[in-house]
Amino acid sequence: DDGPYSKGSKDSGGMDTALVSRRQSIPEEFRGVTIVELIKKEGSTLGLTISGGTDKDGKPRVSNLRPGGLAARSDQLNVGDYIKSVNGINLTKLRHDEIISLLKNVGERVVLEVEYELPPAVPESSAGIIPKTIEVSLYKEGNSFGFVLRGGAHEDWHKSRPLVLTYVRPGGPADREGSLKIGDRLLSVDGIPLHSMTHADALNILRQCSQEALFQIEYDVTIMDTVANASGPLLVEIAKTPGSTLGITLTTAIHRNKQVIVIDKIKPASVVDRCGALHVGDHILSIDGTSTEHCSLLEATQLLAATSENVKLEILPVHQSRLPLKPPETVKVQKSDHHHCWDPCVNYCHTHHPGHCKTPTWNQTSGQDYCKSLVAANFSSPTMNAQGFPCQNSNTLPRSSHPMSPRTTMLRRRQKKKEHKSSLSLASSTVGPGGQIVHTETTEVVLRGDPLNGFGLQLQGGIFATETLSSPPLVRFIEPDSPAERCGLLQVGDRVLSINGIATEDGTMEEANQLLRDAALTNKVVLEIEFDVAESVIPSSGTFHVKLPKKRGVELGITIS
């Protein structure tokens, strides 16, 4: 059975290892206790399924809550909770059938003593996340607002937790309002602060509230560095629960004398707000593959409303809509769902690279939450795609107009051994443009061209063609379908260290261009190229799907054996 923190995942991989290992009971330091009182009408059932007993595997625990049943609508129980006693009768020594008959014949008032696993003490990864608060007004239905609350202050400070929403009941008041999600923290109700209250006191305050109450909620927003550093359009994929809205309203704007569709407002705490990838003013270029170029505002809004659980939006982030539109090159990295026998993440979750996931205790991370830095919030997973920017926190550079400073490049080149055909730079990693960690490597590239068309390579460097270059010239442009593009080894921004064995750095730009022209006459040139390599694309282990942009006729550069 799913524990309350496995974020609603029902796949085999999402099974909370922590809960499997503690099948029999919850260790004292993670154990919370609550008293649940249910009043059932004569002849009706509780809508509660309990597994376990002395003749069965494990202690009595809630294995199912029937939707619409009394237990589910009480919003006080989660699947996975342990039932300690019923109306004061201890269940530990009872067989499964005895427990069932006890529940059936218990009378109208049912008091359950429940043990549950406390929420994690700190949010699983505090890096890359900022908490925000929102005020939400909800109407009570029955005696509840439609969510299960756990945690709270405790006299043993090790057990004190924020008051965390562990479940939002589908169709209930909170779910219909749409802002609250599992993992959100409740800060105050009707202006009464709850941060120093025990679980029991907080529940009492909720019961005493009038029909309408104002909740102050804290939720997490992912910081998407990828979006801030991107150049060119991005493809954002957002996973949302069926029936929920994204939380954005659109409007039109004029950009370069053309009407474009832009984001007008983002609803606080909505799916889009939490994922951190979209901002007010972003241009929406396409919705689920349909271009918005000729759409009216009404049509675009309809397209947005018709989206399914996985929404794909192509956007031009607001901070760069001043730049010319470039076609998106997408590198997309996603955790694979298939577990392989060699996948270290599956059987023993404690082998991890330190510093990848900040979890209070490693065994609380379920297989599904393992890849925290790739998945934005706990329920929405935008996979960032940009001009060579895979995912969050990954470090592939869009090699655009940021030449390395001449001085660093020069120092780095002095340290380099010249005799290596393909060598790793001896200088350690540096921070490239966009704050990405990179190291440099060199390689030899052989191009075959002809005197008429050359090699399809344009260089840039120095201010005057006749001044001596203080740093190697950069590849400024690669002509489409030229030998330089077809070889698949060159990118704009790469540095040309030598042409046919002659170093470019001590010469002038004019000499470099002349070397290329001379080489074209012999139909062949050997270039020594220095390029940046991102230090790590994926901060985790496991199996991944990697999608790479591929131009026709250009090699990917992999051989398979």
DSSP strand pairing (437-448 vs 161-168):
unpaired
Residue 98 has pLDDT above 50, yes or no: yes
> How would you label 57-92 residue by residue, b for 16+ Cβ within 10 Å and e otherwise?
eebbbbeebeeebbbbbbbbbbbbbbbbebeeeebe
pLDDT confidence of residue 85:
92
Q: Kindly report which listed range (8-17, 115-124, 456-465, 512-521) carries the lowest average pLDDT score.
A: 8-17
Question: Beta partners for 164?
Answer: 150, 185
Between residues 406 and 110, the one the model is more confident about: 110
Residue 1 has pLDDT above 90, yes or no: no
Asked if residue 374 lies in contact with residue 335, where contact means CB atoms within 8 angstroms, the answer is yes
pLDDT confidence of residue 93:
87
Residue 136 has pLDDT above 60, yes or no: yes
Q: Is 521 helix (H, G, I), strand (E, B) or coil?
A: helix
Q: What angle do CA 469, 474, 475 make, to 5 degrees?
A: 145
pLDDT confidence of residue 429:
58
Secondary structure element (H or E) that encloses residue 286, with its range: strand 283-287
Average pLDDT over the chain reads 75
Structure confidence by residue, pLDDT tens digits, 497-531: 999 999 888 788 888 989 999 998 998 999 999 98
Percent share of the chain, pLDDT over 70: 72
Q: What is the mean pLDDT of residues 162-184?
A: 91
Measured between alpha carbons, how far is 89 from 39 in angstroms, rounded to an integer? 17
Q: Kindly report which listed range (121-125, 241-245, 491-495) carries the lowest average pLDDT score.
A: 121-125
Measured between alpha carbons, how far is 283 from 321 in angstroms, rounded to an integer? 7
Residue 127 has pLDDT above 80, yes or no: no
Tokens for 281, please give them. 């003013």
pTM for this prediction: 0.53
pLDDT-based confidence at residue 424 (cuts at 50, 70, 90): very low
Q: What is the mean pLDDT of residues 104-132?
A: 82
Structure confidence by residue, pLDDT tens digits, 528-541: 999 888 765 555 56
Q: What is the mean pLDDT of residues 270-295?
A: 89
* All structural domains of the chain: 28-117 (2.30.42.10), 129-222 (2.30.42.10), 228-321 (2.30.42.10), 429-534 (2.30.42.10)
Q: What is the mean pLDDT of residues 298-324?
A: 80
Structure confidence by residue, pLDDT tens digits, 34-74: 999 998 887 788 888 898 888 887 889 999 999 988 899 99
Residue 399 has pLDDT above 60, yes or no: no
pLDDT confidence of residue 357:
34
> How would you label 265-283 residue by residue, b for 16+ Cβ within 10 Å and e otherwise?
ebbbbbbbbbbbbbbeebb
For residue 246, the 8-state DSSP code is -
pLDDT confidence of residue 368:
31
Q: Which residue has the tokens 């109306």?
A: 87
pLDDT confidence of residue 528:
93
Residue 227 has pLDDT above 90, yes or no: no
Measured between alpha carbons, how far is 40 from 38 in angstroms, rounded to an integer? 6
Q: What angle do CA 352, 358, 359 make, to 5 degrees?
A: 85
> How would you label 170-204 residue by residue, b for 16+ Cβ within 10 Å and e otherwise?
eebbbbebbbbbbbbbbbbbeeeebeebbbeebbe
Q: Kindly report which listed range (150-164, 280-294, 354-368, 450-464) carries the lowest average pLDDT score.
A: 354-368
The single-letter code of the amino acid at 194 is L
Which residue, 192, 189, 203, is CA-closest to 150?
203
